[in-house]
């Protein structure tokens, strides 16, 4: 068996914890591959050492090959991680014994012009502090024309991220739905909207707007341009060795 290790070096600058994980795996007779999921696909799973941002970056690469991710949190928030740094070796031992479950997380295809991106958390069209006008379509039907700093379309996984900060609802991680959350809307009647995973969302911008996918800017819309969002055929496979519920994590992170 080969297991991959991907480390956010900003979180483990001396790579001391990475070396500890490597020693544990090789001591179990496991071959270790290190580097990027983009370059190595012949692995049973990836051990991702970092925070949620690191997990997001790896999920885009691993999902195309159906490779599961085991996250060990070295950051501040760890909704996608299986455990904290001190629990890492225990998590690995459970996985090697087969004592785990793999959660399939909804991902989104984001299409704008000739570009296509994959999102595990969300897409944000707009820029904070700059009021814009948007036409919001669901399944080709115009739902609303609204003014706001921007609009977030998030998966259940992403509902605990930017959407939550903007007043959006929490969705259970395994849910098949999306939440559309306006950011700083100009009208008090504008509220977040939950739609089904099979629905198609299109956002047309009256002015040029940046497009941000999972925290990374990927392009801009032109005035009158649009962004289409739909459920992807890819899913993120997240390994879990504990039965911790989302509510437990939220309380631990003091978000409830």
| DSSP state, residue 60 | H
**Domain 107-233, what architecture?**
Sandwich (2.60)
The average pLDDT across 144-154 equals 97
Confidence of residue 5 (pLDDT cuts 50, 70, 90): very high
Domain borders along the chain are: 2-100+241-252, 107-233
pLDDT at 42: 87
Distance CA 53, CA 200 (A): 26
pLDDT in tens, 184-231: 999 988 999 999 999 999 999 999 999 999 999 999 999 999 999 999
- Catalytic one of 12, 52, 82, 149: 52
Distance CA 110, CA 240 (A): 27
What class does CATH assign to 2-100+241-252? alpha beta
Q: Is 52 a catalytic residue?
A: yes
Q: For residue 71, give the H/E element and its range.
A: strand 69-73
Q: Does 2-100+241-252 match 107-233 in CATH topology?
A: no
pLDDT in tens, 17-69: 999 999 999 999 999 998 777 777 789 999 999 999 999 999 998 998 899 99
DSSP-assigned states of every residue in 143-164? EEEEEESEEEEE-TGGGGTHHH
In this structure, what token pair is assigned to residue 64?
Answer: 């195309």
pLDDT at 255: 60
């Amino acid at each position: 068996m080969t297991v991959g290790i991907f480390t956010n070096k900003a979180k483990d600058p001396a790579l001391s914890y990475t070396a500890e994980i490597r020693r544990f795996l090789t001591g179990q007779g496991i071959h270790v591959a290190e580097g990027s999921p983009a370059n190595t696909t012949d692995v049973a799973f990836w051990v991702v050492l970092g925070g949620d941002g690191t997990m997001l970056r790896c999920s885009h690469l691993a999902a195309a090959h159906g490779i599961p991710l085991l996250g060990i949190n070295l950051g501040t928030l760890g909704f996608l991680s299986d455990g904290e740094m001190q629990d890492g070796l225990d998590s690995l031992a459970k996985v090697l014994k087969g004592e785990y479950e793999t959660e399939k997380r909804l991902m989104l295809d984001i299409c704008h012009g000739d570009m296509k991106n994959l999102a595990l958390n969300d897409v944000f069209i707009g820029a904070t502090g700059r009021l814009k006008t948007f036409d919001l379509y669901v399944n080709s039907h115009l739902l609303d024309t609204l003014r706001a700093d921007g609009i977030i379309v998030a998966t259940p996984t992403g509902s605990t991220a930017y959407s939550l900060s903007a007043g959006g609802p929490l969705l259970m991680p395994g849910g098949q739905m999306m939440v559309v959350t306006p950011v700083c809307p100009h009208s008090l009647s504008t509220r977040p909207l939950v739609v089904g995973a099979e629905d198609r969302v299109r956002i047309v911008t009256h002015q040029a707007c940046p497009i941000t996918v999972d925290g990374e800017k990927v392009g801009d819309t032109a005035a009158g341009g649009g962004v289409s969002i739909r459920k992807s055929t890819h899913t993120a496979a997240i390994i879990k060795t504990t039965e911790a519920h989302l509510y437990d994590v939220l309380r631990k992170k003091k978000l409830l």
